[in-house]
Amino acid sequence: MREFYDPVAYDAATEGVPGDVDFFTELARESHASGFPVLELACGTGRVAIPIAQEGVRIVGLDLNAGMLARAREKSVALENASWVEGNMRSFALEQRFGLIYIPFRSFQHLLIVEDQLSCLRCVREHLVPGGRFALDIFNPDIVAIAQWMTSKRGGLQRRARTDDRPGKWETRTYRTASQQLETTFIDEELSDEGAVMSRVYRDLKLRYTFRYEMEHLLLRSGFEVEALFGDCFGSAFEDLSPEMIWVARRPS
**DSSP conformation letters of 195-243:** S-EEEEEEEEEEEE---HHHHHHHHHHTT-EEEEEESSTT-PBP-TT-S
Pair 122, 222: CB distance under 8 Å: yes
Query: Is 1 a domain residue?
Result: no
Pair 227, 133: CB distance under 8 Å: yes
- Same structural domain, 202 and 214: no
pTM: 0.93
For residues 197-202, give the mean pLDDT: 83
**Model confidence at 167, in pLDDT bands (50, 70, 90)?**
low
Do residues 26 and 148 both lie within one domain? no
Give me the sheet containing 82-86, strands edge to edge.
82-86, 59-63, 38-41, 98-103, 128-139, 244-250, 225-230
Q: How far apart are CA 97 and CA 102, in angstroms?
A: 13
Burial tier of 111 (Cβ tally within 10 Å: 0-12, 13-18, 19+)? buried
Specify if 50 maps to a domain.
Answer: yes
The whole-chain average pLDDT of the chain stands at 93
Q: Are residues 16 and 52 in the same domain?
A: yes
How does residue 190 score in pLDDT terms, banded at 50, 70 and 90?
confident
Question: Which of the 8 DSSP states describes residue 45?
Answer: T
Same domain, yes or no, for 58 and 88?
A: yes
**One domain, residues 53 and 105:** yes
Count of domains in the chain?
2
In this prediction, residues 140-152 reach a mean pLDDT of 97
Q: Is residue 12 part of a domain?
A: yes
Q: Are residues 27 and 87 in the same domain?
A: yes
Same domain, 166 and 215: no
Q: At residue 200, does pLDDT exceed 60?
A: yes
Could you tell me the pLDDT band of residue 162, with boundaries at 50, 70 and 90? low
**Are 179 and 235 found together in one domain?**
no
- Whether 25 shows a pLDDT value over 60: the answer reads yes
Highest mean pLDDT among 11-15, 115-119, 153-157: 115-119
Q: Which residues pair with 88 in a beta bridge?
A: 91
Supply the range of the domain harboring residue 34: 7-140+210-250
Nearest-Å Rg of the Cα atoms of the chain is 19
CA distances from 209 to 93, 171, 179, 245 (A): 26, 18, 9, 11
Residues 17 and 109 in one domain: yes
Do 61 and 108 lie in a common domain?
A: yes
Residues 75 and 193 in one domain: no
Local structure of residue 178 (DSSP, 8 states):
T
* pLDDT value of position 165: 57
Q: What backbone phi and psi angles, to 5 degrees, belong to 26?
A: -65, -45
* 244 domain residue, yes or no: yes
Q: Do the domain assignments include residue 111?
A: yes
CATH of the domain at 35: 3.40.50.150
**Share of residues in the chain with pLDDT > 90 (%):** 82
Residue-level pLDDT at 10: 73
Q: How confident is the model at residue 4 (pLDDT cuts 50, 70, 90)?
A: low
For residues 95 and 164, membership in a common domain is answered with: no
Least confident window among 155-159, 214-218, 242-246: 155-159
pLDDT band at 52 (very low <50, low <70, confident <90, very high): very high
Work out the average pLDDT over 27-43: 98
Is 2 within a domain? no
